[in-house]
C-alpha cells in the first residue's frame, strides 16, 4: 500500500511517501520552491519523492492530509478503526486517483509523527505549538496529550497549554518577525537576560494592539526573552509532570514530544533532565513540516493496521531525494582547510527533513576561533550578532565535551560545555551549546570529516550551521549551492564530494 502524506496549511507544507507502513521519504515544499515556509503544495514536490522511490502517480492508494484547522470529529471515527472517506481527490495531478482522501487533525498528526518514529511500543505524546486560532484557544485544542499503545491511539486529552502563543506574541512585541522564524532568536537572546515580573503582562495580553513596539532597547529585549523562556520551561515541565494524571496508564515511562514549540532546545533539556519519563523521543521535523509524516503514519498504523516499524536515527532525518556522489570528498584536505580558518559549505546526499542542518546541508567551520562565529553571523548569515552556533561532535566522545546524559542526533537539546575555552565559537554566553552527536553509522561522511579534523587539532567538534543565506530555506540543489557559494564569503563548497574553491 502506498500512502501520500500532505499538509494543508498556510505555511510549511510538505509531502511524504509511506509504503506498507514504512516511511521512505519526505521533503518540505520550501526546499523545492526556494520560498521559505512555502504554504503551497505542488505536483513538483510530490513527483520528486515518487521518482526517487520508484513509484508512479497512479500507484498511490491513499492521500492523507493534515489539515490546518481544529475539527476533531475525525478522531472519534478513526479511533474505532473506520476509514473516513470524503470522496474527493486532490487536484495537484489528475493522475493521482486514490481510493480515498483522508483528513486528520493538526495535533493528532504532530503526536503521530513523534510516536510512530519512536521505536516505543507504548508511550504518551505531548504536542504544543503557537497556533493562535480563536476556536483552538477557546476549546483548549492548541495542544494535545495522547496515549499510544502498539499501533493504536488509545485516548487523548487537551491540556490547554498556551505558552507557544505567548512566545509568539513576545517575538512580535519585540519586533522579531515573523514569529515562526524568530523564536530561535528569542531563545538565543534569553541567555543574556534576567527574569522580570513586569513583562508577564505582555505574555497574558490577548490583543495585538501592543505590536509592534520598536522602541524596546536591547537590554529590555534580553530580559523579556529570558522571562518568556522561563515561563515556557515552567509550563512545559508542569504539563509533563501532570501528564499521567489524564490517563489510566501509570506504568508508561516513554514520552514523545511534537509541535513547533518543542524545537526549543532549552525547554527540551529541562524536560529530559526532570526524569519524569525514562525515555524521551522527538521526530526531528517536529514543526508543521512534519505533519505530512504524522498524517500518513497515523493512517498506515491506526487505520490500516500496519505493525509498528523500527527506525535508525538516519532513517527519520535524512529523507530527501537521493543524489549521486561525484567522488569521495577529500576529507583530510577539507579538514586541514577548516583548521586554517576556512569556511566550508557542505552539500552531501539526502537532505535533512526538518529545520536543522544535521551534516548534509551544512556550513562547517573551526569551533576554536571566536572570530569565526562573529564573521559567519555578520557576513555569511547576515543575522543578529548574539545568535549562537551549534557544535557537531563525534558520538563516542560527546560526554568529554558536553554535560548531558543522552546523545542528541537531531540537535534538539542544549547542554553545558565542559571545555568552553577550547571551543568558544560554539559556546553560548551562558556556557551552553545546542549540540548534535553524529556516529559513523548515522552519517559516515560528516563523521569522517570531523574525525580528520580531530587528527589535526585534537578537537572532535566542528561548528555547524545551515547551508543557506538570510531569508532562504536550507538549500536542496547543487545549482543553488553554487549560487550561494558565488554570492557569499564561503571559501570552499563541497557538493556531493566535488570541491569548489575561490
Q: Does residue 326 sit within a domain?
A: no
- C-alpha triplet 281, 176, 473: angle, nearest 5°: 60
Question: What's the CATH code of the domain at 494?
Answer: 3.90.870.20
Is the domain of 111 the same as that of 219?
A: no
21 CB burial (10 A radius; 0-12, 13-18, 19+): buried
Q: Does residue 325 sit within a domain?
A: no
Is the domain of 171 the same as that of 227?
A: yes
Query: Which of the residue ranges 159-168, 214-223, 329-338 has the most confident prediction, judged by mean pLDDT?
Result: 329-338
Q: Does residue 456 sit within a domain?
A: yes
Burial 243-275 (b: 16+ CB within 10 A, else e): bbebbebeebebbbbbbbbbbbbbbbbbbbeee
Neighbours of 95 (CB within 10 A): 11
Q: Does residue 454 sit within a domain?
A: yes
The whole-number pLDDT of residue 67 equals: 80
pLDDT, one tens digit per residue, over 4-28 is 999 988 899 999 999 999 999 999 9
With cut-offs at 50, 70 and 90, classify the pLDDT of residue 214.
low
**d(Cα 10, Cα 335) in Å, to the nearest integer?**
41
Share of the chain above pLDDT 70, in %: 90
Is the domain of 125 the same as that of 179?
A: no
Is the domain of 303 the same as that of 359?
A: no
Is the domain of 488 the same as that of 345?
A: yes
DSSP letters, 15-30, are EEEEETTEEEEEEEHH
Q: Does residue 321 sit within a domain?
A: no
**d(Cα 467, Cα 475) in Å, to the nearest integer?**
6
Classify the C-alpha dihedral 83-137-284-157 as positive or negative: negative
- pLDDT(180) > 80: no
Q: Does residue 344 sit within a domain?
A: yes
Greatest alpha-carbon span in the chain: 62
Is the domain of 492 the same as that of 392?
A: yes
Is the domain of 107 the same as that of 253?
A: yes
pLDDT, one tens digit per residue, over 360-407 is 999 999 999 999 999 999 999 999 899 999 999 999 999 999 999 999
The whole-number pLDDT of residue 51 equals: 95
Q: How many residues does the chain have?
A: 502
Is the domain of 261 the same as that of 408?
A: no
**d(Cα 115, Cα 340) in Å, to the nearest integer?**
44
Is the domain of 349 the same as that of 493?
A: yes
Which of 253, 197, 252, 204 lies closest to 227, judged by CA?
197
Q: Does residue 324 sit within a domain?
A: no
Q: Which of 237, 265, 289 is the last residue of a domain?
A: 237
Average confidence (pLDDT) over 450-467: 98
- pLDDT(447) > 80: yes
Q: Which of 176, 210, 237 is the last residue of a domain?
A: 237
- pLDDT(496) > 60: yes
Q: What is the mean pLDDT of the chain?
A: 90
**d(Cα 54, Cα 132) in Å, to the nearest integer?**
40
First to last CA, the chain: 49
Peptide bond into 178 cis (omega under 30): yes
pLDDT, one tens digit per residue, over 33-73 is 999 999 988 888 999 999 999 999 999 999 999 986 544 44
Is the domain of 181 the same as that of 194?
A: yes
Is the domain of 65 the same as that of 140?
A: yes
Q: How many domains does the chain have?
A: 3
Cell of 265: 532546545
Predicted TM-score (pTM) of this structure: 0.93
Q: Which of 237, 270, 296 is the last residue of a domain?
A: 237
Q: Does residue 175 sit within a domain?
A: yes
With cut-offs at 50, 70 and 90, classify the pLDDT of residue 208.
very low
Is the domain of 93 the same as that of 26?
A: yes
Domain that holds residue 306: 2-159+242-311
pLDDT, one tens digit per residue, over 129-172 is 876 544 444 455 678 999 999 999 999 998 988 888 888 888 88
User: What secondary structure letter does DSSP report for 311?
Assistant: -
Grid cell 543557506 is found at 468
With cut-offs at 50, 70 and 90, classify the pLDDT of residue 92.
low
Amino acid at each position: 500500500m502506498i500512502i501520500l502524506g500532505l499538509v494543508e496549511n498556510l505555511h510549511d507544507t510538505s509531502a511524504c511517501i509511506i509504503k506498507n507502513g514504512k516511511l521512505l521519504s519526505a521533503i518540505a515544499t520550501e526546499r523545492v520552491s526556494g520560498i521559505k515556509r512555502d504554504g503551497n503544495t505542488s505536483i513538483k514536490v510530490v513527483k520528486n519523492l515518487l521518482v526517487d522511490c520508484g513509484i508512479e502517480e497512479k500507484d498511490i492508494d491513499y492521500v492523507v492530509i493534515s489539515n490546518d484547522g481544529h475539527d476533531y470529529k475525525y478522531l472519534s471515527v478513526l479511533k474505532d478503526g473506520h476509514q473516513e472517506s470524503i470522496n474527493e481527490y486532490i487536484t495537484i495531478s489528475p493522475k493521482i486517483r486514490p481510493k480515498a482522501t483522508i483528513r486528520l487533525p493538526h495535533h493528532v498528526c504532530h503526536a503521530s509523527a513523534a510516536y510512530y518514529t519512536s521505536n516505543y511500543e507504548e508511550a504518551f505524546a505531548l504536542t504544543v505549538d503557537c497556533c493562535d486560532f480563536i476556536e483552538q484557544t477557546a476549546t483548549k485544542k492548541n495542544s494535545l496529550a495522547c496515549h499510544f499503545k502498539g499501533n493504536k491511539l488509545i485516548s487523548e486529552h487537551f491540556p490547554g497549554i498556551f505558552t507557544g502563543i505567548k512566545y509568539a506574541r513576545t517575538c512580535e512585541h519585540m519586533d522579531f518577525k515573523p514569529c515562526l522564524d524568530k523564536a530561535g532568536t528569542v531563545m538565543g537572546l534569553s541567555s543574556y537576560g534576567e527574569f522580570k515580573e513586569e513583562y508577564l503582562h505582555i505574555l497574558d495580553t490577548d490583543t495585538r494592539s501592543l505590536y509592534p513596539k520598536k522602541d524596546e532597547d536591547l537590554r529590555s529585549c534580553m530580559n523579556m526573552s529570558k522571562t518568556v523562556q522561563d515561563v515556557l520551561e515552567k509550563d512545559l515541565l508542569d504539563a509533563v509532570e501532570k501528564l499521567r494524571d489524564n490517563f489510566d496508564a501509570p506504568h508508561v515511562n516513554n514520552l514523545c514530544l511534537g509541535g513547533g514549540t518543542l524545537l526549543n532546545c532549552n525547554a527540551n533539556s529541562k524536560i529530559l533532565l526532570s526524569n519524569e519519563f525514562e525515555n524521551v523521543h522527538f521526530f526531528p521535523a517536529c514543526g508543521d513540516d512534519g505533519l505530512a509524516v504524522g498524517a500518513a503514519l497515523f493512517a498506515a498504523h491506526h487505520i490500516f493496521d500496519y505493525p509498528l516499524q523500527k527506525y535508525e536515527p538516519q532513517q527519520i532525518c535524512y529523507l530527501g531525494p537521493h543524489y549521486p556522489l561525484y567522488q569521495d570528498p577529500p576529507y583530510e584536505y577539507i579538514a586541514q582547510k577548516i583548521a586554517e580558518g576556512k569556511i566550508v559549505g557542505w552539500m552531501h546526499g539526502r537532505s535533512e527533513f526538518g529545520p536543522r542542518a544535521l551534516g548534509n546541508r551544512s556550513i562547517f567551520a573551526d569551533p576554536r576561533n571566536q572570530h569565526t562565529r562573529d564573521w559567519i553571523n555578520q557576513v555569511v548569515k547576515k543575522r543578529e550578532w548574539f545568535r549562537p552556533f551549534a557544535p557537531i561532535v563525534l558520538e563516542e566522545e560527546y560526554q568529554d565535551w558536553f554535560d548531558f546524559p543522552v546523545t542528541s542526533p537531531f540537535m534538539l537539546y542544549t547542554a553545558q560545555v565542559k571545555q568552553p575555552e577550547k571551543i568558544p565559537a560554539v559556546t553560548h554566553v551562558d556556557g551552553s551549546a545546542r549540540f548534535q552527536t553524529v556516529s559513523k553509522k548515522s552519517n559516515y561522511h560528516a563523521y569522517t570529516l570531523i574525525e580528520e579534523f580531530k587528527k589535526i587539532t585534537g578537537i572532535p567538534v566542528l561548528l555547524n550551521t545551515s547551508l543557506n543565506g538570510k531569508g532562504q530555506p536550507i538549500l536542496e540543489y547543487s545549482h543553488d549551492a553554487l549560487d550561494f557559494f558565488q554570492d557569499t564569503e564561503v571559501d570552499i563548497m563541497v557538493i556531493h564530494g566535488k570541491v569548489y574553491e575561490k
